[in-house]
Amino acid sequence: MKKAILLPMLCLIALCGCEKSTELSEITGNPETETPENGSLTFQLNADKTTCNLLDLTTFSISFNRTVSMWDISNQFDSIVWIVEDKDKNLHSFRIMEQQEKTFLWSHCFYYPGEYKTYLSGYKDKEETFRSETINLQVVTKDFLGWK
């Protein structure tokens, strides 16, 4: 008999506790994930430096224009590709986000000196839907023990 009364009371307390936590998030102003509108989700490529030495790791990251969830990204983009273009217009592409795998921070080292342009492209249904701003990278010859 005690279990029959105790179980409904615990359910009622749990439901009341969930309702209060929702009210608390509205009062404190915690941002909730917005539903994406047409073209509202954008991203930007970030690099820790724009001039680097040969064979030194350069760290890249992706940032979004608002707080997003994995569902938001998957809903708007099938894949996001990191593209590196050298001075001879040779393109090298690396998929950083697909349906199964998502990467937000990565490193890369360049093994030829020169100027490189790098950017991110977002694809939906095999068509490019968004392209980030281009970052110009200068890769210089590393000075090793005073010898070039």
Q: Which CATH superfamily is domain 43-139 in?
A: Immunoglobulins (2.60.40.10)
Domain boundaries, the chain: 43-139
Strands 114-124 and 79-86: antiparallel
Q: Are 44 and 131 in contact (CB under 8 A)?
A: no
Above 90 in pLDDT, residue 136?
yes
Tokens of 78: 């099938």
Burial of 60 (0-12, 13-18, 19+ CB in 10 A): buried
- Scanning the chain, the segments in alpha helix (DSSP H) are 2-28, 70-76
Entry pTM: 0.66
pLDDT tens for 67-113 read 888 888 888 889 999 999 988 778 888 888 887 788 889 999 888 88
d(CA 15, CA 91): 56
User: Which of 8-12, 54-58, 103-107, 133-137 holds the top average pLDDT?
Assistant: 133-137
